[in-house]
A and B are shown apart, each in its own frame.
Chain A
């Protein structure tokens, strides 16, 4: 039985939850710990924190958020943003996170994936990828780093294969074209990646309603569906999504 996971993503800047539209125009959506705990009560299957603060002096603030969250919620919980070494990963896991998510640092140094996977197991290494449609790569999708600001010339499918080869336990795939648009996930992109690798795929970027979520799982073959602002601003609840998944013949926890 395949159970689709619903994952609210909290973009955290200086200890507060924010979410941008197409990676700019950040809006404040509250305290991360409170929000995580509310999502836990609403039936979220997992929580993702992405620390989008660039400056290193905010690490302490993030650490405090992670520590407080781990004391309150007992569902899988992933932290990403600014993790560049095994030591960075160790610190986050010691505070109580279950998985760490790597993005830019993994593209710069793919060994980082295997180093962390060897130390803590593949199950705690999520490789997050920001990608958009492009004529620059053979597969038609290009990988971007640094919060979507830098093109790498890397072909998405090639990078996914390499990341999984290095020991990535999951892929968190964000379509930059769709992120913040509410036009639905990029189904073709999801399909391409889910056919390429066997590790769980988390769809991100573009879901605006329950049907988009169902499409991500049914057509895109994603194993988990991630969204931020539509949950934060109450436009969609987790149980609504789960009910629709059920109607579509899929399985969800507690729906």
Chain B
């Protein structure tokens, strides 16, 4: 029997993290919701989810004393350390800050600012949208040709060299980034049917269980 890779999900008192846990388990992980630093550090990989507002998520990370751990783990992942997956606001938190919550600092791993979505579209984007993605990146390995994923967000990360996917919502929006073992998606892989499960499986495939 092969051991299921262990994934620790930052449980920092925001929103609904259960669906992320269930989807990771379905994808083949031993997934734990935890605020225990030891468990987070000892897992094969970590997931930083996030829903609601940027400011509330950043504050909740500080209140649960996980802010600096999340920052250092994300930074290490970007330099080839333990894999780290940010989801939705968990992706946005990787940046310096957000126009949504001026004055609140993000983890600052990516030196950019989250901006509001512009254009003649409903805000937030709460819908399925088609991904234009870099099929050569491991995040999208084996994924179907026309991948549709589920988004819920009113703000968006600017495009940088880390971008590996985009979607068209009034303008082109940054839908996913990757820098070494630091992966993050603006969409919700845990809510994106088969495509989402495939992305999670791809994330699990870069974990080293020990």
The interface of chain A, by Cβ under 8 A from chain B, is 1-3, 5, 40, 45, 70-71, 74-76, 93-98, 119-124, 169-170, 198-200, 223, 253-254
Contact = CB atoms under 8 A, between A and B. Distances in A.
B122 A198 contact: yes
A101 B102 CA distance: 31
30 contacts: A2-B121, A2-B127, A45-B128, A70-B22, A74-B22, A74-B190, A74-B192, A74-B197, A75-B193, A93-B15, A93-B18, A94-B18, A95-B18, A96-B19, A96-B22, A97-B19, A98-B19, A120-B16, A120-B52, A121-B14, A121-B51, A123-B51, A123-B52, A123-B126, A124-B16, A124-B51, A200-B122, A200-B126, A223-B122, A253-B128
Interface residues of B, number: 34
Contacts of A198: 122-123
A1 B130 contact: yes
Contact of B191 (A74, A94, A122, A170): A74
Contact of B129 (A1, A93, A124, A200): A1
Nearest to A252: B128
B148 A254 contact: yes
A92 B185 CA distance: 25
B15 A124 contact: yes
A254 B146 contact: yes
Interface in B118-171: 121-124, 126-130, 146, 148, 150, 152, 167-169
B47 interface: no
Contacts of A253: 128, 130, 148
A123 B152 contact: yes
A219 to B, nearest CB: 17
B123 to A, nearest CB: 7
Contacts of B206: none
Interface in B13-27: 14-16, 18-19, 22-23, 26
Given A71-B26, A76-B150, A121 B15 contact: yes
B53 interface: yes
A137 B53 CA distance: 36
Contacts of A199: 122
Contacts of A75: 150, 191-193
B19 A70 contact: yes
A92 to B, nearest CB: 9
Nearest to A4: B127
Give the 6 A-B CB pairs with smallest separation, nearest first: A121-B52, A93-B16, A253-B128, A253-B148, A121-B51, A123-B152
Contacts of B15: 93, 119-121, 124
Nearest to A90: B16
Nearest to B168: A1
A69 to B, nearest CB: 10
Contact of B122 (A2, A40, A124): A2
B97 interface: no
Contacts of A74: 19, 22-23, 26, 190-194, 196-197
A223 B127 contact: yes
Nearest to A200: B126
Contacts of B14: 121
A70 B190 CA distance: 11
A198 B15 CA distance: 23
Contacts of B130: 1, 253
